[in-house]
Amino acid sequence: MTIALTKPLPLPPDIPAYVPSGNECILFESAWTRQLPLLLKGPTGCGKTRFVHHMAARLGLPLSTVSCHDDLTAADLTGRYLLKGGDTVWVDGPLTRSVRDGGLCYLDEIVEARKDVAVVLHPLTDDRRILPLERTGELLQAHRDFMIVVSYNPGYQNLMKALKPSTRQRFVAIEFDFLPKNQEIAVVSSESGLDEARVAPLVELARRLRALKGHDLEEGVSTRLLVYCASLIDSGLQVRDAVRSALIEPLTDEPDVKAALIEVANAVVA
């Protein structure tokens, strides 16, 4: 099925809210209709996962989400034999289910998974769109509505954990970043219930702390943490207590760095 898209598809009701910052919705829709794999890259908490949930809902696709980690193996995705009622039966993993029946399989932080995971994805991310299951002897042709989406945070990449060029170049890629200031204020206010005038200094503080990434901090304040902070304030917690709990403590354990961040916070947030 091929559809020429010049604007986003109409929004079904009751889907996860998402505020686009560019043409990422159209890019996603085009990748899906052309059966192209998609890679999302951007900092922690900038909205990648929310975007995937939003797009799966608006396209009417079943969604399987896998949070990748050091112990995640190819078998965790494809499936394995298990004992059930005295019998040994094959149980599909989330990737295999999506390949068989159609749907979106989302692998979050793909670089955290073991290297054999990338090997399994290769035949699914080229024109073959197949999934070999060695344990069962099957060679599955991907359902026409199957889509694979992976994400990672480039800031965490190192020599030991990086996507190889041979893997990266199998995907169409979208780069994410934090929203422009006014948009981020609107999103945090909508998600937390705190009015925009009170959210504005929190967003300004986050932008200043993000500027410290790579110096005193490994990672900046995510939009997710801003929502947490604003929610605490909206529930009645004192602003400085909420800022410390949601915007300072999660960023660092170093006493000197923490003291410096608190100093910045006191100067920005009343």
How high is the pLDDT of residue 159? 45
Return d(Cα 148, Cα 31) in angstroms, integer. 10
Mean local confidence (pLDDT), 1-16:
51
Res 2 pLDDT > 80:
no
> Length of the chain, please?
270
- What residue spans define the domains of the chain? 24-175, 181-268
Res 206 pLDDT > 90:
yes
Res 146 pLDDT > 80:
yes
How high is the pLDDT of residue 236? 97
Is pLDDT larger for residue 84 or for residue 120?
A: 120
Is pLDDT larger for residue 44 or for residue 108?
A: 108
Mean local confidence (pLDDT), 87-102:
95
Give the type of residue at 235.
Answer: S
Q: What percent of the chain has pLDDT over 90?
A: 74
Terminal Cα-to-Cα distance of the chain (whole angstroms): 55
How high is the pLDDT of residue 4? 39
**Phi/psi at 88 (nearest 5 deg)?**
-100, 115
Instruction: Write down the pTM of the prediction.
Output: 0.87
3-state helix, strand, coil in the chain (%, to 5): 45, 20, 40
How high is the pLDDT of residue 5? 42
Q: Which residues contact 5 (CB under 8 A, 6 or more apart)?
A: 26, 29, 30, 33
How high is the pLDDT of residue 166? 87
Res 1 pLDDT > 50:
no
How high is the pLDDT of residue 260? 92
Mean pLDDT across the chain: 90
Res 175 pLDDT > 60:
yes
Mean local confidence (pLDDT), 97-101:
97
Owner of token pair 């190192």: 158
Q: How confident is the model at residue 162 (pLDDT cuts 50, 70, 90)?
A: confident
CATH label, 24-175, candidates 3.50.30.50, 3.40.50.300, 3.30.70.980, 3.30.420.10: 3.40.50.300
